[in-house]
Amino acid sequence: MPARSRPQTGVFAIIAREWGREDRSHCAVRVQGSVEVNRPLHEVFDYVSNVGNYPNWVAHALEVRTDTPGPPRQSDRFIVAIKSVGRRFETPYERLFMGS
């Protein structure tokens, strides 16, 4: 007589149960992390909000082309080129809102 398997429990059991479903619209992956930067907040914000710096801190960004020189402004347009799954992708963006 074959041994009975125990019911699966925990995260892997949930993944196994969910994997068999046809409708996966409720499934999502959430990845979080943090980095402590020893600089004033406004300097960090200015650096990461400047799209020209993306290749310096966004791992898969290859280059950024902007239509407008200077500091970021509302309605700026730019193209970010990334490398993913061995291919190059270029995506156009427009800055629609600049909070004050």
Q: What is the pLDDT along the chain (100 residues), one digit of tens a residue?
A: 455 555 544 444 444 455 555 555 565 677 788 888 899 999 998 888 888 899 998 889 999 998 877 777 788 889 999 999 999 999 998 888 766 5
pTM: 0.56
Strands (E), 1-100: 61-66, 77-84, 87-94
Q: Do 55 and 62 form a contact (C-beta atoms < 8 A)?
A: yes
For residue 9, the model assigns a pLDDT of: 47
What are the beta bridge partners of residue 84? 87
Q: Do 90 and 77 form a contact (C-beta atoms < 8 A)?
A: no
